[in-house]
Amino acid sequence: MSHGPAQPLTAPASGPLTGVAEVPGDKSISHRSLILGALSEGETRISGLLEGQDVLDTGAAMRAFGATVEKHGGDWVVHGVGVGGLLEPEDVIDCGNSGTGVRLLMGVAATHGFAVTYTGDASLRSRPMARVTEPLALFGAQAYGRSGGRLPMTVVGASDPIPVAYTTPMASAQVKSAVLLAGLNAPGETVVTEREATRDHSERMLRGFGAQVETERTAEGHVIRLQGRPTLRGRDIAVPRDPSSAAFPVCAALIVPGSDVLVPNIGLNPTRAGLFETLREMGADLTYENPREEGGEPAADLRARFSPDMKGVEVPPDRAASMIDEYPVLSVVAACAEGTTVMRGVAELRVKESDRIAAMATGLRAMGVEVRDGPDWWEVDGLGAGGLPGGVTVATHLDHRIAMSFLVAGMAARRPVTVDDSGPIATSFPIFRPLMEGLGAAFA
């Protein structure tokens, strides 16, 4: 919960970024590997787990719920307790900065007959939890939190849960996943309908661990049916690299003159790849090399080269869920393109680790970029390649993606960009700084 002293960091203009950027494991899949391993019988061995603080906090939580979670050599090994077998934690569960961690855990524990109190850092304590506790109440769980449905919050799990049919009111994989994970320990069929498809890692991984999950496209949307009380069996998991982390070296290469960067082995699951599609529409020199299937999902090596002729685009709102965490860094690329980039249908950006539209707009405006915004949209007027003035210090509001986005901006700007706190980068991309330095970036 406590956050150490702020760690300011400055990115001055960079020379060409070149080389290979091996980004760490996918954060969404890493959380789910630990959680589903803990709900399985037997051993789950995970290679490539993201060792970011968000994921480490979920690992500590699974230990508090009774599972064994240990690092053996380079792998993480989980010995699970089986579906319905979680134990009552002896203390508050602190999820740090992680919305995914707390919301998925609330779901899992909501159909166990004990109470759990959750908290997190100042950012997480400001984020809305009613979106999860409302559907969990349908299973019979009761939540008692701060006003506005904020953490700290105690959720009293249902001792006699009933299955639920629920339509998610916003495009959120966290809400969908919380309901599905609660449904694991409810008898019968739990059904989640989402109007827009969101990342589908929970569905794919639940199936991989042995649950019966069916998905169907209907007139109402995307329907997911889970049969409750399955036996989940531990398995080996190789976590693919994170496309949301790949976004930073890719975007930096596109806007720093002379750059040519290879980001190998990135999953291009269509529920995650919207940024790359958008960048290509803008005219980015971004190619998919060696396209292949990895663990049943499309993957490729991404090659990004400096792209001085990118144009602003209108990003279709139905693409938002597939690139929701990438809008901050897209807005930096947009500021280096010609013309206006329009981003609509993105109200969810206002309830992430920070209000990401406000945070990016404030920093971009401070360096002279024209940004217009409304409740669920924003537009950035590009200054063209080499046009970003820089010369600002920006507030990152405990938000890793805001910090990394402005550091990327500094690499392409005429004068340095300083972020007031780079500490939160460790939540999702702990090797961001050495990785970017390896490509040629300098920090001060």
Which residues contribute to the site for ligand PEP (CB under 6 A)?
A: 98-100, 325, 352-353, 401, 428
Is there binding between residue 184 and ligand S3P (CB under 6 A)? no
**Residue 43 touches which member of ligand S3P, ligand PEP, none, C-beta under 5-8 Å by kind:** none
**Residue 185 touches which member of ligand S3P, ligand PEP, none, C-beta under 5-8 Å by kind:** none
CB 40 within 8 A of CB 232: yes
Q: Quick one: which segment of 169-177, 207-215, 247-255, 311-319 binds ligand S3P (CB under 6 A)?
A: 169-177
CB 188 within 8 A of CB 228: yes
32 labeled part of a ligand binding site: yes
401 labeled part of a ligand binding site: yes
Is there binding between residue 200 and ligand S3P (CB under 6 A)? no
Binding-residue pattern over the window 226 to 265 for ligand S3P, x denoting contact by CB under 6 A? ----------------------------------------
CA distances (Å), origin 415, targets 76, 365, 366, 412: 42, 15, 13, 9
Residue 352 CB, nearest distance to ligand PEP (Å)? 4
Closer CB to ligand S3P, 263 or 324, in the complex = 324
CA distances (Å), origin 77, targets 178, 203, 210, 211, 231: 23, 22, 18, 21, 19
Residue 99 CB, nearest distance to ligand PEP (Å)? 3
207 labeled part of a ligand binding site: no
Closer CB to ligand S3P, 325 or 355, in the complex = 325
Residue 380 φ then ψ, to 5°: -125, 125
Q: Which of 216, 205, 215, 212 is nearest to 229 (CA)?
A: 212
172 labeled part of a ligand binding site: yes
CB 155 within 8 A of CB 109: yes
**Between β-strands 236-238 and 115-119, what pairing exists: parallel, antiparallel or unpaired?**
unpaired
Angle of the 27-38 helix axis to the 173-183 helix axis, nearest 10: 10
Q: Which of 336, 395, 411 is nearest to 361 (CA)?
A: 395
Closer CB to ligand S3P, 174 or 259, in the complex = 174
27 labeled part of a ligand binding site: yes
Structure-token match 């599609």, residue found: 277
Burial of 150 (0-12, 13-18, 19+ CB in 10 A): middle
Residue 356 CB, nearest distance to ligand PEP (Å)? 8
Is there binding between residue 427 and ligand S3P (CB under 6 A)? no
Residue 147 CB, nearest distance to ligand S3P (Å)? 21
Q: Quick one: which segment of 61-69, 82-90, 170-178, 389-397 binds ligand S3P (CB under 6 A)?
A: 170-178
Closer CB to ligand S3P, 140 or 240, in the complex = 240
The set of catalytic residues is 325
Tokens of 130: 């009613």
Closer CB to ligand PEP, 81 or 402, in the complex = 402
Q: How many CB atoms lie within 10 A of CB 17?
A: 28
Helix (H/G/I), strand (E/B), else coil: 256: coil
Helix (H/G/I), strand (E/B), else coil: 308: coil
Number of residues that make up the chain: 444
Q: Which of residues 331-360 bind ligand S3P (CB under 6 A)?
A: 348
**Between β-strands 68-72 and 75-79, what pairing exists: parallel, antiparallel or unpaired?**
antiparallel
Residue 437 CB, nearest distance to ligand S3P (Å)? 25
Is there binding between residue 269 and ligand S3P (CB under 6 A)? no
Is there binding between residue 324 and ligand S3P (CB under 6 A)? yes
Is there binding between residue 34 and ligand S3P (CB under 6 A)? no
363 labeled part of a ligand binding site: no
Q: How many CB atoms lie within 10 A of CB 148?
A: 10
99 labeled part of a ligand binding site: yes
Strand order across the beta sheet in which 9-11 lies = 9-11, 415-419, 390-394
CA distances (Å), origin 371, targets 332, 342, 382, 409: 11, 10, 9, 15
Tokens of 168: 């998610």
Count residues contacting ligand S3P (CB under 6 A)? 11
Closer CB to ligand S3P, 199 or 303, in the complex = 199
Closer CB to ligand S3P, 324 or 364, in the complex = 324
**Residue 353 touches which member of ligand S3P, ligand PEP, none, C-beta under 5-8 Å by kind:** ligand PEP
Residue 172 CB, nearest distance to ligand S3P (Å)? 3
Which positions make up the binding site for phosphoenolpyruvate?
27, 99, 127, 174, 356, 401
Contacts with ligand S3P by CB under 6 A lie at: 28, 99-100, 172-174, 177, 199, 324-325, 348
Which positions make up the binding site?
27-28, 32, 99, 127, 172, 174, 325, 352, 356, 401
